[in-house]
Amino acid sequence: MVPTPAETEVRLTGPEEADRFSRFLHGFLSSNGFPFVIVHDTPELLGQLRKVVFEDIGLSRKFASEWLNQRGTAGAA
C-alpha cells in the first residue's frame, strides 16, 4: 500500500526510540490543539513500524518534518 499524503510511516529502532516517539507525539498533539489522529501499530513487522494518519495533509507534513528533525537531533546527542 502506498502511503497517502496524510499518512506518515515511522520505523522505530527499539524501546528507547518508541518511548521518545510517544513523548514526541503527545507534545505534537498538545501544541497543535489535539487534532484527530490514528496511529496504526504493527509490532510484528521488523523495526516497529507505526503509521500516523491525520485528517489534514498540512498537519501530517508538519508532523513528518518535525519528527525527522527531532530524530536527527536525538541521534546526534
Report residue 8: phi and psi, to 5°: -120, 125
Whether the pTM exceeds 0.85: the reply is: no
**CA pair distance 10, 50, nearest whole angstrom:** 5
Assigned domain for 26 exists: yes
pLDDT of residue 7: 87
The domain in which residue 55 lies consists of 7-76
What is the block-wise mean pLDDT of the chain (77 residues), using blocks of 10 residues? 73 87 94 89 71 91 92 57
The structural domain count of the chain equals 1
Most distant CA atoms of the chain, gap in Å: 34
Tell me whether residue 1 is in a domain: no
**For residue 15, is it within any domain?**
yes
Nearest to 10 by CA among 39, 35, 33: 39
